[in-house]
Amino acid sequence: MKRGPLRVLVVEDHATIACQVVAFLEGLHWEADHAAGGALAIELATREAYDVVLLDLNLPDIDGIEVCRAIQARAPRNVPVLMLTARDAFEDKARGFTGGADDYLTKPFDLRELALRCEALARRGQLHQDREIRVGPLTLRVRDRCALVDGTPVALTRAGFTLLLALCEASPRAVSRSALLHALWGTHPPDSDALKSHLYALRKALEKTGAADMIATIPQLGYRLQAPPESDV
């Protein structure tokens, strides 16, 4: 798969390292934005569409793992995260991957290797974005962040798409309530029962396109997306 220049978010509080990485990537004719802290990184990743996020594990304001989870929960599309850190112990790497990182590179690193890893992650991310998921009459187009029921568009909110994607990827298995909460808000869900409201709105949106009862509540398990039964007519 041939790609053009990548768009990368560099999240690094060490000014010298950040300048070196950004200058190298721009020398490849890539577009590189920089955030020195976790809060700005989350804001940029939520607002913009990046091919890869380079994320330092040690940030001055928010732990890198929390930043990773927030980006994956709130970004407008699924973006690969490559963690950069001086920590090279297995426990640190395991923490990074468990926290949602797609790859891990320890400092100091060769900038050429960094670029190769970015390209590999971007290719993998592109394959994910291009796919369609089908469950019965429902088609979810990941790249376009839209859903169709027998060709009719479903009016989805941002939260509705996130929930539907999680349910589609797991179908026919159930998705736990905690997993859906994490998909929407990471490790800091609201105190109110907002999940129930978002699920209600998603069900109504599906119902309007003729796909009622596709989201089933499974007691003590969570929720499951299932194809409607075949009509006897």
Are 56 and 22 members of one domain?
Answer: yes
More confident residue, 131 or 59: 59
More confident residue, 4 or 158: 158
Are 71 and 182 members of one domain?
Answer: no
Are 84 and 102 members of one domain?
Answer: yes
Q: What is the pLDDT of residues 133-173, one digit of tens each?
A: 889 999 988 777 889 999 899 998 888 888 998 898 888 88
> Looking at the domain assignment, is residue 17 inside a domain?
yes
Are 14 and 123 members of one domain?
Answer: yes
Q: Which residues span the domain enclosing 23?
A: 7-129
For the cut 60, the answer to whether the pLDDT of residue 73 exceeds it is yes
> Looking at the domain assignment, is residue 203 inside a domain?
yes
Using the 3D structure, point to which of 83, 110, 129 is the last residue of a domain.
129
> Looking at the domain assignment, is residue 116 inside a domain?
yes
Of 205, 207, 209, 185, give the one whose Cα is nearest residue 195: 185
Are 121 and 167 members of one domain?
Answer: no
- Has this prediction a pTM greater than 0.85? no
Are 38 and 83 members of one domain?
Answer: yes
* Interacting residues of 146 by C-beta distance below 8 A, sequence separation 6+: 140, 153, 154, 156, 161
- Nearest-angstrom CA–CA distance, 37 and 3: 29
The domain that holds 113 is classified in CATH as 3.40.50.2300
Q: Around 60, how many Cα atoms within 13 Å sit in the side-chain half-sphere?
A: 8
Q: What is the pLDDT of residues 179-210, one digit of tens each?
A: 888 778 766 677 778 899 999 999 999 999 98
Structure confidence at residue 232 (pLDDT): 42
- Nearest-angstrom CA–CA distance, 35 and 22: 11
202 neighbors 225 (Cβ within 8 angstroms): no
Q: pLDDT > 70: what percent of the chain? A: 91
105 neighbors 117 (Cβ within 8 angstroms): yes
- Nearest-angstrom CA–CA distance, 56 and 52: 13
More confident residue, 79 or 189: 79
